[in-house]
Structure 1
Amino acid sequence: MSKLEELINKLCPNGVEFKKLSELMTPNPKSKIGAKKAEQMLKGEYPFYTSGKSVYYINEHMVDGENIFVNDGGQADIKYYDGKSSYADHVISFRPINVNGKYLYYVLMKKKEYINEKMFRGSGIKNINKNDFFNMLVPVPPLEVQCEIVRILDNFTLLSAELSAELSAELSARQKQYEYYKNLLLKNYDGEDNTCLKDIAKYSKDKINANELNEDNYIGVDNLLQNKQGKVKSSYIPKKGNSTKYQEKDILIGNIRPYLKKIWLADNVGGTNGDVLVIRIIDDNVIPEYLYFVLSSDKFFNYNNINSKGAKMPRGDKEAVMNYKFYLPLKEEQLKIINKLNKFKMICNDLSEGLPAEIEARKKQYEYYRDKLLTFKELK
Structure 2
Amino acid sequence: MSRIDKILQELRLGGVVFQDLGDSGTVFGGLTGKSKADFSDGNARYVSYTNVFSNIAVDVEANDFVKVETGERQRMLKRGDVIFTGSSETADEVGMTSVVTAKVNEPLYLNSFCIGFRPNNPNLLDPDFSKYLFRSSGMRAQIIKTANGVTRFNVSKARLAKVRVPVPPLEVQREIVKVLDQFTQLEAELEAELEAELEARHRQYDFYRDKLVSEAVDEAEHVRLGDVGSFVRGRRFTKKDVVDSGIPSIHYGEIYTEYGTSTNEAVRQIRVELHDQLRYAKPGSVVFAGVGETVEDVGKAVAWLGNEPVATHDDTFAFTSPLNPKYVAYAVQTKEFHRQKGRHVSRAKVKRLSAAGLADIKIPVPNLAVQEKIVETLDNFEELVKNINFELPSEISFRRKQYEHYRDRLLTFEEAAE
- Pick one of 266, 271, 286 that aligns with 1:251: 286
Cα distance in 2, alignment partners of residues 362 and 249 from structure 1: 43
Are positions 1:92 and 2:133 aligned together? no
Aligned to 2:132: 106
Distance 1:321 1:213, change over 3 A: farther
Alpha-carbon contact 2:228-2:321 (below 8 Å) kept: yes
Are positions 1:329 and 2:366 aligned together? yes
Alpha-carbon contact 1:48-1:86 (below 8 Å) kept: yes
Aligned to 1:199: 227
Aligned to 1:31: 31
Give unmatched runs, 5+ long, in structure 2: 67-75
Cα distance in 2, alignment partners of residues 24 and 229 from structure 1: 55
- Pick one of 321, 325, 329 that aligns with 1:282: 321
Q: Deviations over 1:16-46 (max 9, x none)?
A: 222222344445662368999779879x9x8
Q: What is the letter of the counterpart of residue 280 of structure 2?
A: K
Q: State which drifts further: 335-344 or 206-215.
A: 206-215
Cα distance in 2, alignment partners of residues 36 and 358 from structure 1: 46
Are positions 1:315 and 2:352 aligned together? yes
Cα distance in 1, alignment partners of residues 412 and 247 from structure 2: 44
TM-score using structure 1 length? 0.80
Aligned to 1:342: 379
Q: What is the letter of the counterpart of residue 411 of structure 2?
A: L
Alpha-carbon offset, residue 371 of structure 1: 1.4
Are positions 1:265 and 2:291 aligned together? no
Alpha-carbon contact 2:46-2:64 (below 8 Å) kept: no
User: Secondary structure of the equivalent of 1:203?
Assistant: strand
Are positions 1:223 and 2:254 aligned together? yes
Q: State which drifts further: 188-197 or 22-31.
A: 188-197
Alpha-carbon contact 2:126-2:174 (below 8 Å) kept: yes
Cα distance in 1, alignment partners of residues 36 and 399 from structure 2: 32
Distance 1:35 1:164, change over 3 A: farther
Percent of pairs with identical residues: 23
Q: What is the letter of the counterpart of residue 244 of structure 1?
A: R
Distance 1:274 1:37, change over 3 A: farther
Distance 1:28 1:193, change over 3 A: farther
Distance 1:339 1:4, change over 3 A: closer
Q: Deviations over 1:75-132 (max 9, x none)?
A: 3443234223655332334445411222222222124753675344434443333332
Cα distance in 1, alignment partners of residues 338 and 259 from structure 2: 10
Q: Deviations over 1:279-311 (max 9, x none)?
A: 2x321xx21221111122243345435423362
Alpha-carbon offset, residue 146 of structure 1: 1.7
Give unmatched runs, 5+ long, in structure 1: none
Alpha-carbon contact 2:27-2:161 (below 8 Å) kept: no
Q: Deviations over 1:300-347 (max 9, x none)?
A: 345435423362222222221122111111223223322332333333
Q: Deviations over 1:255-299 (max 9, x none)?
A: 2225353543334343332133332x321xx21221111122243
- Pick one of 65, 68, 92 that aligns with 2:79: 65
User: Secondary structure of the equivalent of 1:349?
Assistant: helix
Q: What is the letter of the counterpart of residue 87 of structure 2?
A: G
Are positions 1:186 and 2:186 aligned together? no
Alpha-carbon contact 1:4-1:148 (below 8 Å) kept: no
Following superposition, which runs of at least 4 residues in structure 1 exceed 6 angstroms of deviation?
1-8, 32-42, 188-192, 205-213, 230-233
Aligned to 1:297: 334
Q: What is the letter of the counterpart of residue 259 of structure 1?
A: V
Are positions 1:354 and 2:391 aligned together? yes
User: Secondary structure of the equivalent of 2:230?
Assistant: strand
Cα distance in 2, alignment partners of residues 198 and 235 from structure 1: 29
- Pick one of 145, 148, 172 that aligns with 2:175: 148
- Pick one of 118, 130, 143 that aligns with 2:157: 130
User: Secondary structure of the equivalent of 2:353?
Assistant: coil
Alpha-carbon contact 1:21-1:137 (below 8 Å) kept: yes
Q: Deviations over 1:222-244 (max 9, x none)?
A: 43444975699857844742343
Paired residue total: 375
Distance 1:236 1:288, change over 3 A: closer
Q: State which drifts further: 114-123 or 155-164.
A: 114-123
Alpha-carbon contact 1:251-1:264 (below 8 Å) kept: yes
Cα distance in 1, alignment partners of residues 268 and 142 from structure 2: 29
Cα distance in 1, alignment partners of residues 11 and 327 from structure 2: 70
Q: What is the letter of the counterpart of residue 319 of structure 1?
A: A
Q: State which drifts further: 131-140 or 319-328.
A: 131-140
User: Secondary structure of the equivalent of 1:58?
Assistant: coil
Q: State which drifts further: 56-65 or 357-366.
A: 56-65
Distance 1:48 1:30, change over 3 A: closer
Alpha-carbon contact 1:223-1:233 (below 8 Å) kept: no
Cα distance in 2, alignment partners of residues 275 and 53 from structure 1: 35
Distance 1:206 1:175, change over 3 A: closer
Aligned to 1:118: 145
Cα distance in 1, alignment partners of residues 113 and 287 from structure 2: 42
Cα distance in 2, alignment partners of residues 313 and 200 from structure 1: 29
Alpha-carbon contact 1:60-1:86 (below 8 Å) kept: no
Aligned to 1:241: 274
Cα distance in 1, alignment partners of residues 170 and 3 from structure 2: 14
Q: What is the letter of the counterpart of residue 295 of structure 2?
A: Y
Distance 1:194 1:304, change over 3 A: closer
Distance 1:207 1:117, change over 3 A: same
Alpha-carbon offset, residue 366 of structure 1: 0.9
Cα distance in 1, alignment partners of residues 206 and 37 from structure 2: 38
Q: What is the letter of the counterpart of residue 162 of structure 2?
A: N
Distance 1:337 1:64, change over 3 A: same
Q: Deviations over 1:127-161 (max 9, x none)?
A: 33333223211222222222222111111011011
